[in-house]
Amino acid sequence: MITIEKQIEKILFDTVKNLYVDKDLKPIEITVATNEKFGDFQSNFAMMNSKIIGGNPRAIAENVVNNLVENEVIDKIEIAGPGFLNIFLKNTFLGEIIKKISQEKYEFNELDTKGDVIIDYSSPNIAKRMHIGHLRSTIIGDSIKRMYKFLGYNVVGDNHIGDWGTQFGKLIIGYRNWLNQEAYKENAIEELERVYVEFTKQSEEHPELEDQAREELKKLQDGDEENYRLWQEFIKVSLDEYGKLYSRMGITFDTYYGESFYHNLMPGVVKELEEKGIAVEDQGAKVVFFPEEDKINPCIIQKRDGAFLYATSDIATVKYRLENYDVNKLIYVTDERQQDHFRQFFKITDMLGWNVEKQHVWFGIMRFSDGVFSTRKGNVIRLEELLDEGKRRAYEIVNEKNSELSEEEKNNIAEIVGAGAIKYADLSQNRQTAVIFEWDKILSFEGNTAPYLQYSYARIKSILRRAEEQNKVLNKEIKIEFQDKAERGLAHHLTQFPSVVLKAAESCRPNLVADYLFELSKKFNSFYNSCPILNQEDNVLYSRLLLAERTASVLKEGLNLLGINTLERM
Ligand code: ARG
Print the SS3 string covering 423-463. Answer: HHHHHCCCCCCCEEECHHHHCCCCCCCHHHHHHHHHHHHHH
Q: Which of 99, 131, 319, 410 is catalytic?
A: 131
| CA distances, 404 to each of 410, 439, 458 (Å) | 9, 25, 17
Domains identified in the chain and CATH numbers: 4-89 (3.30.1360.70), 115-260+317-381 (3.40.50.620), 383-561 (1.10.730.10)
pLDDT score at 434? 80
Which residues sit with their C-beta closer than 6 Å to ligand 1? 120, 123-125, 160, 162, 314, 332, 334
Tally the C-alpha atoms within 13 A of residue 158's C-alpha that lie toward its C-beta: 21
Residue 556 known to be catalytic = no
pLDDT score at 381? 62
pLDDT band, very low/low/confident/very high, at 348 (cuts 50, 70, 90): very high
Q: From the CA of 259, how far away is ligand 1's center (Å)? A: 9
pLDDT score at 376? 40
In the predicted structure, residue 168 carries a pLDDT above the cut 60: yes
The 116-120 sheet, strands edge to edge:
154-158, 116-120, 327-335, 358-363
CA of 341, closest atom in ligand 1: 11
Q: From the CA of 326, how far away is ligand 1's center (Å)? A: 23
pLDDT score at 305? 86
| Residues, the chain | 570
Query: Which of 241, 230, 263 is closest to 124 using CA atoms?
Result: 241
Query: Which of 74, 102, 101 is closest to 88 using CA atoms?
Result: 74
| CA distances, 222 to each of 109, 217, 218 (Å) | 51, 9, 6
CA of 314, closest atom in ligand 1: 10
DSSP 292-309: GGG----EEEE-TTS-B-
Q: Which is it for the CA torsion 470, 474, 478, 482, positive or negative?
A: positive
In the predicted structure, residue 412 carries a pLDDT above the cut 50: yes
Kindly report, residue by residue over 216-252, the tens digit of the pLDDT: 999 998 889 999 999 999 999 999 999 998 999 999 9
Q: Which is it for the CA torsion 540, 546, 551, 552, positive or negative?
A: positive
Query: Which DSSP symbol is given to 276?
Result: T
Residue 134 known to be catalytic = yes
435 pairs with which residues across the strands? Answer: 366
Q: Whose CA is nearest to atom 12 of ligand 1?
A: 124
Q: From the CA of 172, how far away is ligand 1's center (Å)? A: 22
CA separation for the pair 206, 216 (Å, rounded): 16
Q: Ligand 1: which of 159, 334, 361 to mutate, most ligand atoms within 8 Å of CB?
A: 334
pLDDT score at 47? 96
List of E strands, 17-96: 30-32, 41-43, 74-80, 84-89
Q: Whose CA is nearest to atom 6 of ligand 1?
A: 123
Q: Give 406: exposed, middle or buried? Use CB within 10 Å, 0-12, 13-18, 19+.
A: exposed
CA separation for the pair 487, 481 (Å, rounded): 8
Mean pLDDT value of segment 36-48: 95
Q: How do 358-363 and 366-368 pair as beta strands?
A: unpaired
Share of the chain above pLDDT 70, in %: 98
For 172, phi then psi, to 5°, come to -65, -45
pLDDT band, very low/low/confident/very high, at 116 (cuts 50, 70, 90): very high
pLDDT score at 436? 81
Q: Do 290 and 296 contact (CB within 8 A), yes or no?
A: yes
Mean pLDDT value of segment 21-48: 94
pLDDT score at 413? 95
For 80, phi then psi, to 5°, come to -130, 155
Q: From the CA of 424, how far away is ligand 1's center (Å)? A: 23
Q: From the CA of 45, how far away is ligand 1's center (Å)? A: 45
pLDDT score at 166? 85
Mean pLDDT value of segment 358-373: 77
pLDDT band, very low/low/confident/very high, at 369 (cuts 50, 70, 90): low
DSSP 130-165: --HHHHHHHHHHHHHHHHHHHTT-EEEEE---B--S
Q: Give 540: exposed, middle or buried? Use CB within 10 Å, 0-12, 13-18, 19+.
A: middle
- Residue 38 CA to chain centroid, in angstroms? 33
- Can you list the pairs that 185-194 forms with residues at least 24 positions away whose Cβ atoms lie under 8 Å? 187/241, 188/237, 188/238, 188/240, 188/241, 189/127, 189/128, 189/129, 189/237, 189/238, 189/241, 190/129, 192/127, 192/128, 192/234, 192/237, 192/238, 193/127, 193/128, 193/129
N- to C-terminal Cα distance for the chain? 33
- Which helix (H) or strand (E) segment holds residue 497: the answer is helix 497-506
In the predicted structure, residue 354 carries a pLDDT above the cut 90: yes
Q: Which of 134, 410, 492, 556 is catalytic?
A: 134
In the predicted structure, residue 441 carries a pLDDT above the cut 60: yes
Q: CA 223, 225, 231, 232: dihedral to nearest 10 degrees?
A: 110
CA separation for the pair 504, 514 (Å, rounded): 10
Residue 219 known to be catalytic = no
* Torsion region of 291: left, alpha or beta (phi above 0 gives left; psi -120 to 50 gives alpha): beta
pLDDT score at 380? 54
* Torsion region of 371: left, alpha or beta (phi above 0 gives left; psi -120 to 50 gives alpha): left
In the predicted structure, residue 375 carries a pLDDT above the cut 80: no
